[in-house]
Structures are given as structure tokens and as C-alpha cells.
Structure 1
Amino acid sequence: MTDAPLWTKDKPPRQGLGLMRLRDADGGTPDADRDPVAVVHAALDAGITLLDTAELYGNEDLVGRTIAGRRHEVTLCTKFGVVWGAQSDDWSVHADPASVVASCEASLSRLNIETIDLYYLHHRSEDTPIEETITAMAELVDSGKIRAIGLSNVTAEDVRRAHAVHPILAVQEQWSLASRDVETTMLPTVVELGITLVAHSPLGHGILGGTSDPASPDVARTLADIATGDGVSAGQVALAWVHSQAERRNHPVVPLPGSTSVQHVLANVLASTIRLRDEDIVRLDEVSAATGPIPSR
């Protein structure tokens, strides 16, 4: 049993922690900075309460172990629907009512919890009408298996149809200086319906934080210039830009950076406190032309 807080329209989480890459060490003792339990506990100790995983990530059992004894501090999110095939790039979506129930029961067992705080459909289905999926998820709410419903990798029309069946708490989509399509394809709909936008990959899978080759040299130079002037890192500035969208749009936006390092978790937490100057936000807007999405997660 848990009394874990669930955000409301008036008080969403400030930031979450994406756990897509959280893994046990491959033999031996993991480096202290990358021990998965240490990473999650560092986030919780720093005030991050929103943890996000998925059945697709193959780590729900690990996530369950990392929060054992601290479940009451966590708003726990997981996702269902995307299933790997025989090949590494072969996947399909299972969103029919029977799969909804089976996936939920399996996730509850792996996570070793009684209730999932926020349960996402991980990807839209071409085969199952979203109304059928959401009806099955609403029954999970009624039975106490989940507390709220979310959507990811869907269209604005999907969100409208789903929300007409049962209130949708959050829509999770890519949003960063490297991927801004959400501003025209999804944001107007979630603002209209009062649905929180969870912005995954706010560092562009590393290309905005210096761990991958930059997608745009102009964006990289501007981030570096602002970061140098403020005594922070380029990645922290990029994350602060996503944070700034909540105030600019007068709508809840929850950045969801992922990390497998205690050091990076703490840097990301610090980024949530940075307030960019209006002129720096304008500079970043101007150099970050809207681009197509980077790989989905």
C-alpha cells in the first residue's frame, strides 16, 4: 500500500527521472556513481518523486528493488503495449483489452507493488481503437490497479478520443531544443484539455549535453555561450529551457531527463532551479529550428 502523491493540475511534479537505461551491473560491483540503487536514491534524496519506466525497458524488477522501503516517496509510472519481436528492430503494439490487463498484472508483479500511480499506453495502435484501450484502462482505475491514465507516442486526435472516454492525466512526448514538433502537433490539444505534458528526452538523447555529436552547431554554440556566462553546463541550460516552457505557456510541463549516473542526476536537479533570462530564451528559440523527432523511446 502507498500514499504516494499524484500530481494535480495545480501542483505537478517539478521534474522526473526517466529510467529507460537503468540496468544492473554486468557482473561485479558497479561503480558507486552508476549503481542503480544509488542513482534512484540520489534522485529521491534530492526531492525527485516521479520515476518513469516501462515493460519494454526490461527493468521493472530492478526498479521495484530500488524503491523497496521508499515506495511512499514515489509517484511511479510505467508503460505497456510495445512488444519486441524476433529481430532487434521488430516490434508491435498490443493494446487490446486482454493485453491491457495482462500487461498491468505482469508489471505489478515485477515492480512488487499493489498499484501503479500512472499507467501509460506506450504507443498508439493501428489495430485497436483507442477507445477500447482506454475503456480497459479505466476498469483498472476502478479496480485500484492503477491510479491514473497516460498516453505516449500518440496523435492529438488520439488524445481527444481517449480523453472523451476517461480523463487523461498526462501525455508524454519528446520536447527539447533538438525536437520541437510537439509545440504544434500536441501542445495546443493538451493545453485545451488541461492535460500535463511530460517532456521526455529534454537533452535530446545527449546531443544537447555534450555526450553525443550536436545536431546543430548553432544550438551547441549558443548553449555553451549561455552556460559559460552563468557558470553551469550546456546540458543544464538545455534542460532549463524545457522548464521555462511551463511559465511561458502557462501550462504544466514536466521534464523527464534520464540518467544512469548519480552525478548527472544531481546536475539535472540543479538545472530545475535555473531561471533563464528572457533574452537567452529568445536566442535559443531562434537557433533551434523545429525539427523532426529523434528516435522514440
Structure 2
Amino acid sequence: MTAAIWTDGVPVQGLGLMRLTDDGWGDSDRDPATLVQVALDEGVTLLDTAEMYGNEDIVGRALGSHRDQITLCSKFGVYRGDSGRHDDWYVRADPATVRTAVDGSLGRLGVDHLDLYYLHHRSEETPIEETVEAMAELKQAGKIRALGLSNVTLEDIRRAHAVHPIAAVQEQWSLTQRGVEDYLPTLAELGIALVAHSPMGHGVLNQNADGELAHELSRIASELGVGAGQVALAWVHQCARQTQGTVIPLPGTSSVSHLRANVAASRIELGDVDIRRLTAAV
């Protein structure tokens, strides 16, 4: 799996692009093309978007001439309802949707293949075996290089992997969202990478943590001369290095300065006592 996707080795960290918008062009800190260039300069080569985010065309323009240097990932299957409300969405994961969705993503991104293509959310209607069979057909056709799953159960993962090898599972892992830790033994057993999105709790751990956790983040950040969010991200990196499998933290940002801070966080070394106190503070 690793050799098939990351020919130069597993990336230490990825870049989530959910919030990338057209408003950033020309802004020195939020210009999409600059963001991609700086990501590459900093060694961040895994870029992640989704059909649902509505920005694949922006990502495509931002890639410019760098396509061959990037592990490009997108997702399909989650669609907004007519109301426009944040909580109004539904899942389509039938084979016909798989085939049409990938062509739409490729067209908007302006590329001929995706390196990693995820089912964005499990379906209650379509058996995951049918979805994965259709995704495997995309791989045979050269439209994708590897299959991924997101927002799924352990049973889903095993059933899907029995149909076709799954390269990566994307789930949240942060100080305040620990459920995916139950997945780690199975992912390691099956040789599936965990792509750990929102390692700073969708930004909450930057400055809005509560109680004992906020105290510990602030204390360690002050001692190290870094931000609280960097400490939270460093916690995920350090815990990931202690697992038997492959874990790639995926902090998201549309800011060049935040990107650089996130990369710096991957190099922070927390002491064992700090790790235990952060873990206990939750």
C-alpha cells in the first residue's frame, strides 16, 4: 500500500483543504497557489479535498504545474440538501453515483486520476461491498490509484477490505476525539493507514479548550514557546509514532502562516509526563 501511493515514503503530515475558497487569491497569507507551493516547500505533499467541499476547481487551479509532486485525495458520497442548512445532508454510495462522481471530481480538479479516493460517509442503504466493487472498477480504469473510506465502522472496514484492499481510512483523532484509537489494531493488522483529520479539534484546541485541558495546553505551550494548537497537534503526532500502524495527521488550513505552524508542530517533542497529563486532562 505504501509503495503504491507514496513512492517517496509516507508523508509526515497532510493538508486538509475543506476551507479553501476563491476569496484567498492575491492575499499573501491565503492565496491558494501560494499555499500549495509553501506546502511542497515544507515537505507536505498529501492534499485532501472532497466533492462536498465545493472547492475542487479551486484546488485544481492552485495545483498549477505541481500535480506530479502531490498525493491528491478527494471524497464522494455526501450531498447537501435543498435547505442549505449545515445539518441537511444525505449519502449516495450506489455504483452509478461512484462512476459519475469521480468523473465530476476529475473534471473540476483538471486531472486524469486521483491518488486516493474516499467514500466520504457510510451508507445505510447501499451495502459497502457494492460501493467498493464500483470503486475498484475506477482503479482498473486508471481513474484512481487507491481506495479509501471515511466515517465508517470497524465492520465496514473489514467487509470493504475483503472486497478490495483499502489503502486509508480517514477519521478524526484529537485530544477530545479518541474513538478512532479502537480502530488502530485493526488498521495495523490490515495494513491500512489512518489519515487523522481535525487533530486540533476543528480549531477548538487552538484557544477554546476548557478546564484542565486548557490549563495543560497553555502550560506546555508557554514552556515550549509555541501555540496551544501546536501542542495539541504534537500530541497526535507523538501518539501516532507509538502505534504499530501508519498514521498521517491531517490538519486543515487555508493560511500559509498556520500551515508553517502546523509543520513546526510535527517536530515538537513532548515529554512522557506531558503526554500523560494531556491525556488525563480530557
Of 222, 225, 237, 2:219 maps to 225
Q: Which residue identity is paired with 2:125?
A: D
1:234 and 2:231 matched: no
1:243 and 2:240 matched: no
Distance in structure 2 (CA, Å) of the matches to 1:201 and 1:30: 27
1:189 and 2:183 matched: no
Match of 2:36 in 1: 40
Match of 2:62 in 1: 66
Match of 1:287 in 2: 281
Cα deviation, residue 31, structure 1: 2.6
Cα deviation, residue 5, structure 1: 7.6
8 Å contact from structure 1 (residues 84, 90) kept in 2: yes
- Structure 1 residue runs without a partner (length 5+): 289-297
8 Å contact from structure 1 (residues 120, 152) kept in 2: yes
Q: Deviations over 1:213-243 (max 9, x none)?
A: 32x3211110111111112111111101111
The farther-off stretch of 261-270 and 239-248 is 239-248
Cα deviation, residue 285, structure 1: 1.1
8 Å contact from structure 1 (residues 38, 262) kept in 2: yes
Cα deviation, residue 7, structure 1: 2.6
- Structure 2 residue runs without a partner (length 5+): none
Match of 1:7 in 2: 6
Distance in structure 1 (CA, Å) of the matches to 2:195 and 2:167: 10
8 Å contact from structure 1 (residues 203, 239) kept in 2: yes
- 2:213 is paired with a residue of what secondary structure? helix
Of all paired residues, the percent bearing the same amino acid is: 61
- 2:15 is paired with a residue of what secondary structure? strand
Q: Deviations over 1:123-177 (max 9, x none)?
A: 0000100000000000111110000000000000000000000000100001000
Cα deviation, residue 194, structure 1: 1.6
Segments ≥4 residues shifted beyond 4 Å? none
Distance in structure 2 (CA, Å) of the matches to 1:277 and 1:149: 36
- 1:202 is paired with a residue of what secondary structure? coil
Distance in structure 1 (CA, Å) of the matches to 2:37 and 2:9: 23
Q: Which residue identity is paired with 1:238?
A: A
Match of 1:265 in 2: 259
8 Å contact from structure 1 (residues 5, 74) kept in 2: no
Distance in structure 2 (CA, Å) of the matches to 1:101 and 1:234: 43
TM-score (norm 2): 0.95
Distance in structure 2 (CA, Å) of the matches to 1:70 and 1:248: 33
Structure having the larger proportion of residues in helix:
2
Distance in structure 2 (CA, Å) of the matches to 1:235 and 1:250: 25
- 2:65 is paired with a residue of what secondary structure? coil
TM-score (norm 1): 0.90
8 Å contact from structure 1 (residues 5, 75) kept in 2: no
The number of equivalent residue pairs is 278
What pairs up with 1:152-231 in 2 under 5 angstroms? 152-184=150-182, 186-210=183-207, 213-214=208-209, 216-231=210-225
Q: Which residue identity is paired with 2:89?
A: W
Aligned-residue CA RMSD (Å): 1.6
Cα deviation, residue 11, structure 1: 3.7
- 2:215 is paired with a residue of what secondary structure? helix
